[in-house]
Amino acid sequence: MTIFDNSFWVLGTDTGIGKTYVTSLLALYRQAQSKPFSVCKPVACGTYDLMGDMINEDVEGLKAIVTGHQTEDEICPWLLSQPLAPWTAAQHDGVSLSAEDIAAHVKKLHHTFGMVIAEGAGGVAVPLNGSESYLDAVQRSSFPVVLVVGMKLGCINHCLLSIEALKKRGIEIKAVILNKYIKELPEDVYESSKREISHHCSKIVEIPHISSYPMALGHLEKKSQIFDFDSFVDID
């Protein structure tokens, strides 16, 4: 059994801690296996104007992986202009977000393509509207979660609160990925943080610090330099 036996979400303990990085790596791995898949980031916040097109870097990265395979709307149906939390960005653009709509979109991709790797926005409990959070959308989709943890000061608290929130909703956590996206923690602090987090999740995967996102993707064939893909995708 592998993680790719079903669709799943890539969620994070915070914003800017490597969700798109992990989503892209897993999508590229799946692509290398010549197996059907789709990707999406249903809600993306923050755009810039490029020759009249509104661009979001995370969405562009996912589009590059599935060029010609998915439409832009399939990858990101809710592209919001401001780099803010989803509900705040949606209010600014006059857009309404709902957990049901997001879950329905992800499930539609699952039925169309066989599986979907769906990326969240911000942390796991970020609000979508006045009464729902991203947790509601994930719960309605019935898909499990891969949780990305940015290994920085405060990561233990952020990780354990995220795990608790997911478990309270009955959402399965397939794995916790520890991302050394910055070199903030001394090695001994990193190791102690990893030990504490490992008490709460049976599947821990580590990603070393990589100096640049494109360089990391370029090393996909040297996959051991990123993390042990074969070990990660094999859940049992």
Three-state secondary structure along 81-134? CCCCCHHHHHHHHCCCCCHHHHHHHHHHHHHHHCCEEEEEEEECCCECCCCCEH
| Average pLDDT for 7-27 | 92
- For position 184, what pLDDT does the model report? 74
- For position 209, what pLDDT does the model report? 65
Say which CATH class 3-233 falls into.
Answer: alpha beta
- For position 227, what pLDDT does the model report? 60
Q: Which one, of 99, 102, 148, lies nearest residue 127 by Cα?
A: 99
CB burial of residue 222 (10 Å; 0-12, 13-18, 19+): exposed
Q: Is pLDDT of 219 > 90?
A: no
Q: Model confidence over 28-56: pLDDT tens digits?
A: 888 888 888 999 999 999 988 777 778 88
Q: What contacts 115, CB < 8 A, 6 or more positions away?
A: 4, 6, 7, 36, 37, 38
Q: Which amino acid is at 189?
A: V
Q: Which residue has the higher pLDDT, 31 or 130?
A: 130
Q: Three-class SS of residue 180?
A: coil
- For position 162, what pLDDT does the model report? 97
The separation between the first and the last C-alpha atoms of the chain, rounded to the nearest angstrom, is: 6
Q: Model confidence over 72-83: pLDDT tens digits?
A: 999 999 999 999
Catalytic site positions: 41
Dihedral pair phi/psi, residue 49, rounded to 5°: -85, 120
Q: What contacts 94, CB < 8 A, 6 or more positions away?
A: none
Q: Which residue has the higher pLDDT, 114 or 209?
A: 114
The domain ranges of the chain are 3-233
Dihedral pair phi/psi, residue 52, rounded to 5°: 90, -10
